[in-house]
Amino acid sequence: MKTSPCTKPVHALYPGSFDPFTRGHHDIVTRALRLFAHITIGIGINPDKQPFMPVEDRLEWIRAIFSGEPRVDVISYSGLTIDAAAEIGADTLLRGVRSAEEFGYELNLAQANRNLSGIETVLLPASPELAAVSSSHVRELLGNHLDATAMFPDGAPLHLLP
């Protein structure tokens, strides 16, 4: 049996709404930097959803958090994630998974993306201590005027919160 040399994926696209970007998201990116040479965080724009934070503020927020990491950049995109990945030359999609329910959804999405474009997806499980952190939970806390700062990574420009 002939084998080919193993090559490390070079560029991953980590897509999501990141509204807002949390410690859980940060943990996925930080851990994934051991697997990928470069990660692009892609903020997907859904025109049918009313965002909590404007996309410009989310871009600035994430760029501030990763300002010292040259292997991470941030973009926004609309349309299909596989098209955004092709446009930036990403060879892999990166997704975080917090629960068994999310795993089923992400697995189906990964299979569909591979069938449509050939791109592979790496599903990275959430660190146990961060599995309960979600953007929707953060929005709920902030909407009720409660402190959610413990759910944000160091360096998050909190002045951008609505």
135 is catalytic: yes
| Residue among 17, 26, 58, 135 flagged as catalytic | 135
| Residue among 25, 26, 58, 95 flagged as catalytic | 25
109-141 pLDDT, tens digit each = 999 999 999 999 999 999 999 999 999 999 999
Give the total residue count for the chain: 162
* Distance separating alpha carbons of residues 40 and 29, to the nearest angstrom: 9
Do residues 134 and 97 touch, judged by C-beta distance below 8 A? no
Res 32: pLDDT: 97
Question: Strand pairing partners for 93?
Answer: 13, 121
Question: Could you say which DSSP state residue 67 is in?
Answer: T
Average pLDDT over residues 13-37: 97
Res 74: pLDDT: 98
Burial of 151 by CB count in 10 Å (0-12 exposed, 13-18 middle, 19+ buried)? buried
> Angle between the 81-88 and 100-117 helix axes, to the nearest 10 degrees?
60
Each as own residue / partner, the long-range contacts of residues 103-112 (CB below 8 Å, 24 or more positions apart, any chain) are none
| Residue among 23, 26, 58, 98 flagged as catalytic | 98
As assigned by CATH, the class of the 11-155 domain is alpha beta
Question: Strand pairing partners for 41?
Answer: 14, 74
49 is catalytic: yes
User: For residue 47, what pLDDT band results from cuts at 50, 70 and 90?
Assistant: confident
| Residue among 49, 67, 99, 136 flagged as catalytic | 49
